[in-house]
């Protein structure tokens, strides 16, 4: 009798692998019945990872979203699964044990059946609590092997890792090929080894299609004994996403496996609604390049799940870098040029960082460090001059054991900066904090929510949750989407003079435009039109306007922002914010700039007494702007 292969739809991950946002709760509720009517899914991925932070970013309550989205699947017996990052829970940085334990209890009560847990370093010590807490909360524990391809990541390495996770109590194993760079035969050998030793342990294969291996890998994994296969569907399959349901279904059926029938009428409904959501607003955050497969990704091995945010980060940093070039009369870069430099730098530094598997959050750490290196090198500075705290924690062992060895140059840099390596259990470095957040919520008269779910969100995502509660998150999102919609409108009012110069050779410039007697200075850029930011328009000073000289206190010293992002006075509740009147010494930490989901500590490059802090916490800041003034 033919062996049955079951499918899981990655409706959340489809979006996250393509762009910045996922659908709103009303959209998710609308599409759920049609997904059910397709009749071919045993499982649906409903939440976890960055999903809940994304809800907060556009001002939506993530707890309502999870409950409303999982309910239809619960009602018909389709299992729901979430993605969680072990020590990092469902955020980018380590989470206290009491918050992690609460997370599993809350998510089970909200309707999530399976916890897919992974450690970006494949450290069993980090996964041990995930397995334990998931089972305590009543969930199925699915422990993941974060797959990558290097001289230290062998078939034997992954076979032993799976053995250890099953010993710790994992109910299932996930082969998490997050970058799609696992070679098909390599994956087949790992699956076969696990199934030979543990024939009754369900195995689920998750692969991204980016570099092009995933369809062959899916077939090899199924032949070796995989029970469940993760799939995506049009219009968001392929590219940096996942293999398409129809292709995989046809391939496995032809290979003699038993696969469920697909209700094509319902399939087309889901496809149409997904396109409707793209047209509504989500398409403004999807870079067209993410819709293509790219074999260049074999080299850097960056995961599909972060490619949506990567292109957004690249766009923003390119804009800042080109501003820096323009100020100094230097030629600018295109997005493709910066992307290739980034890929090359990732491949260069990955071995030096000890081969951390490139999965969240460590893929972001490596990518961010590579991008900072590229930015610094392009400005004539040295590599390693901007290393975020999160990256240091990874290198120092606070996140777990690195699979490989840290390069001597980074070990020496740590010693020069007085940083100490950590050899203990990673969780022990992050003490319980629920009581701290309980107090803050009580002080603000905030409801803890059903099953303490609001307390969980506050403890898991404090900065985003505060912005959500204040209304700032929603206001910022609505302003951003309004700008993107305006930028996308056809421009017919202005008459453009044709030039013989090819567009590709044009460099960013400014133009003075006279409209009904009012003069405007306009910044104009040419090049990649994908996700083009709204151009800023400043009213130019009138010809007869008097020039005002602003008196400057030459005795004041200025601390300048070394990069752009969001400025924060503190990173968490354990720190005390600096204030006017405080004395700082050269080398003191004066705050943080959050860029690309990591906190970068900013140090004073001179000593003095603070006379002005120029930005409030959470404010956007550009490179070269003054953060603080000293006397």
pLDDT digit string, tens, across residues 347-384:
899 999 999 987 878 888 888 899 889 988 998 888 99
* CA gap 120, 127 in Å, rounded: 10
Instruction: Kindly report the average pLDDT of the chain as a whole number.
Output: 86
pLDDT digits (tens, 9 = 90+) for 137-184: 999 999 999 999 888 999 999 999 999 999 999 999 999 998 888 999
Of the candidates 513, 468, 465, 473, the one whose C-alpha atom is nearest the C-alpha of residue 491 is 513
Which range, of 31-35, 263-267, 410-414, 581-585, averages the lowest pLDDT?
Answer: 581-585
| Residue 212, number of CB atoms within 10 A of its CB | 16
Question: What pairing do the DSSP bridges indicate for beta strands 626-630 and 557-560?
Answer: antiparallel
Per-residue pLDDT band for 305 (boundaries 50, 70, 90) equals: low
Q: Which residues contact 430 (CB under 8 A, 6 or more apart)?
A: 87, 94, 95, 96, 97
Kindly report the CATH number assigned to the domain that includes residue 603.
2.40.50.100
What distance in Å separates the CA atoms of residue 222 and residue 230, rounded to the nearest whole number?
Answer: 12
Exposure string for 91-116, b = 16+ CB within 10 A, e = fewer? bbbbbbbebbbbbbbbbbebbbbbbb
Q: Is residue 612 part of a domain?
A: yes
Task: Place 494 in a pLDDT band, splitting at 50, 70 and 90.
Answer: very low
Which two tokens mark 617? 């916490």
For 155, the token pair is: 């078939």
Give every CB contact of residue 157 below 8 A, 6+ residues apart in sequence. 403
Cβ-in-10-Å burial (0-12, 13-18, 19+) of 323 comes to: middle
Residue 553 confidence (pLDDT) above 90: no
CA nearest to 187, candidates 213, 164, 212, 160: 213
Residues 526 and 467 in one domain: no
Question: How many domains is the chain partitioned into structurally?
Answer: 3
| Residue 391 covered by a domain | no
DSSP-assigned letter for residue 142: E
Same domain, 570 and 541: no
My answer on whether 621 and 567 are in the same domain is yes
- 485: how many CB neighbours lie within 10 A of its CB? 12
366 lies in some domain: no
Residues 567 and 607 in one domain: yes
Residue 406 above 90 pLDDT? yes
Confidence category of residue 597, pLDDT binned at 50, 70, 90: low
How many C-beta atoms surround the C-beta of residue 120 within 10 A?
Answer: 26
The per-type count for the chain, helices as H runs and strands as E runs, is 20, 19
pTM, to two decimals: 0.77
pLDDT in tens, 212-223: 999 999 999 999
Q: Is the residue at 563 inside a domain?
A: yes
- Residue 103, phi then psi, degrees to nearest 5: -55, -45
Average pLDDT over residues 194-214: 95
Whether 623 shows a pLDDT value over 80: the answer reads no
Q: Is the pLDDT score of 41 beyond 70? A: yes
> Are 575 and 523 members of one domain?
no
Q: Are residues 561 and 625 in the same domain?
A: yes
Which carries the bigger pLDDT value, residue 517 or residue 528?
Answer: 517
601 falls within a domain: yes
Q: How far is CA 36 from the centre of its chain?
A: 28
pLDDT at 521 over 80: no
619 and 579 inside one domain: yes
Rounded-to-integer distance, Cα 90 and Cα 48, Å: 6
Q: How far apart are CA 118 and CA 303, in angstroms?
A: 14
The C-alpha atoms of residue 430 and residue 251 are separated, in whole angstroms, by 47
Do 506 and 454 fall into the same domain? no
Which of 269-283, 380-394, 434-448 has the weakest average pLDDT?
380-394
Between the alpha carbon of residue 82 and those of residues 142, 170, 462, the distances in Å are 10, 15, 21
Q: Are residues 532 and 576 part of one domain?
A: no
- Domain finish residue from 545, 578, 604: 545
Q: What sign results for the dihedral spanned by CA atoms 484, 490, 494, 497?
A: positive
Q: Which residues pair with 144 in a beta bridge?
A: 174
CA–CA separation, 450 and 67 (whole Å): 11
Q: Give the three-class secondary structure for 463.
A: helix
Instruction: Quote the CA–CA distance of 64 and 99 in Å, as a whole number.
Output: 19
Of 286, 209, 230, nearest to 19 by C-alpha is: 286
pLDDT at 30: 98
Least confident of 358-367, 393-402, 441-450: 358-367
Residue 541 shares a structural domain with residue 564:
no
Q: Tens digit of pLDDT for each residue in 497-511?
A: 444 444 334 444 444
Q: What is the pLDDT of residue 593?
A: 86
Distance in angstroms (rounded) separating the CA atoms of residues 488 and 533 = 10
DSSP string, 598-612: EEEEEE-SS-EEEEE
Q: At what angle do helices 307-327 and 335-352 cross, to 10 degrees?
A: 110
Rounded to the nearest 5°, which phi and psi values hold at 410?
-80, -35
In a domain, 201, yes or no: no
On whether both 562 and 541 belong to a single domain, the answer is: no
- Extract the tokens encoding 219: 């077939």
- Name the DSSP letter for residue 297: G
Q: Residue 619 sits in which domain range?
A: 557-630
**Residue 427 bridge partners (DSSP):** none
Q: Is residue 536 part of a domain?
A: yes
* DSSP bridge pairs for 524: 509
Beta strands in 49-184 (DSSP E): 79-84, 114-117, 140-146, 172-177
Do 566 and 539 lie in a common domain? Answer: no
Considering the domain boundaries, does residue 605 fall inside one? Answer: yes
């Amino acid at each position: 009798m033919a062996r049955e292969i079951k499918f899981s739809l990655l409706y959340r991950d489809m979006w996250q692998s393509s762009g910045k946002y996922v659908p709103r709760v009303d959209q998710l509720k609308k599409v759920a019945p049609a997904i059910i009517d397709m009749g071919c899914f045993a499982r649906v991925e409903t939440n976890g990872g960055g999903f809940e932070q994304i809800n907060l970013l556009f001002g939506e309550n993530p707890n309502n979203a999870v409950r409303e989205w999982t309910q239809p699947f619960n009602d018909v017996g389709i299992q729901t699964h979430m993605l969680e990052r072990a020590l990092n829970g469902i955020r980018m940085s380590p989470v206290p044990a009491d918050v992690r334990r609460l997370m599993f209890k809350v998510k089970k009560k909200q309707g999530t059946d399976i916890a897919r847990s992974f450690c970006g370093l494949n450290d069993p010590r980090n996964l041990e609590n995930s397995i334990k807490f998931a089972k305590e909360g009543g969930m199925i524990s699915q422990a993941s092997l974060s797959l990558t391809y290097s001289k230290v990541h062998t078939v034997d390495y992954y076979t032993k890792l799976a053995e250890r996770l099953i010993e710790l109590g994992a109910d299932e194993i996930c082969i998490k090929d997050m970058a799609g760079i696992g070679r098909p035969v390599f994956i087949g050998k790992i699956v076969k080894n696990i199934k030979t030793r543990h024939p009754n342990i369900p195995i689920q294969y998750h692969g991204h299609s980016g570099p092009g291996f995933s369809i062959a890998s899916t077939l090899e994994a199924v032949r070796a004994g995989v029970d469940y296969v993760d799939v995506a569907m049009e219009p968001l399959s392929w590219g940096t996403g996942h293999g398409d349901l129809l292709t995989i279904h046809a391939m496995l059926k032809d290979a003699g496996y038993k696969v469920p029938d697909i209700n094509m009428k319902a399939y087309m409904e889901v496809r149409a609604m997904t396109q409707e959501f793209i047209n509504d607003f989500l398409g403004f955050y999807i870079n067209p390049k993410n819709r293509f497969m790219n074999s260049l990704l074999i080299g850097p091995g960056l995961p599909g799940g972060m490619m949506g945010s990567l292109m957004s980060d690249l766009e923003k940093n390119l804009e800042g870098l080109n501003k820096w070039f323009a100020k100094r009369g230097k030629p600018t870069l295109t997005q493709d040029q910066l992307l290739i430099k980034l890929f090359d730098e990732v491949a260069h530094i990955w071995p030096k960082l000890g081969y951390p598997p490139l999965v969240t959050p460590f893929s972001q750490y490596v990518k961010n460090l590579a991008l900072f290196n590229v930015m610094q090198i392009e400005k004539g500075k040295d590599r390693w001059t901007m290393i975020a705290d999160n990256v240091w924690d990874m290198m120092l062992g606070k996140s777990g054991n690195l699979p490989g060895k840290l390069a001597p140059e980074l070990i020496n840099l740590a010693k020069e900066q007085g940083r100490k390596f950590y050899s203990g259990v990673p969780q022990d470095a992050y003490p319980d904090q629920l009581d701290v957040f309980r107090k803050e919520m009580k002080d603000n008269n905030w409801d803890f929510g059903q099953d303490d779910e609001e307390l969980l969100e506050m403890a898991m995502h404090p900065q985003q949750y505060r912005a959500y509660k204040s209304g700032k998150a929603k206001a910022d999102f609505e302003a951003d989407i309004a700008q993107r919609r305006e930028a996308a409108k056809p421009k017919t009012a202005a008459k453009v003079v044709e030039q013989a110069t090819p567009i590709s050779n044009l460099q960013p410039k400014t133009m003075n435009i006279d409209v009904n007697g009012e003069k405007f200075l306009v910044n104009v850029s040419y090049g990649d039109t994908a996700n083009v930011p709204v151009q800023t328009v400043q009213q130019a000073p009138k010809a007869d306007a008097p020039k005002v000289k602003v008196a400057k206190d030459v005795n004041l010293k200025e601390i300048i922002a070394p990069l752009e992002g969001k400025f924060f006075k503190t990173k968490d509740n354990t720190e005390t914010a600096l204030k006017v009147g405080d004395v700082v010494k050269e080398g003191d930490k004066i705050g943080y700039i959050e860029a690309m989901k990591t906190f970068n500590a900013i140090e004073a490059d001179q000593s003095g007494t603070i006379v002005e802090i120029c930005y409030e916490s959470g404010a956007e800041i550009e490179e070269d702007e003054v953060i603080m003034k000293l006397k």
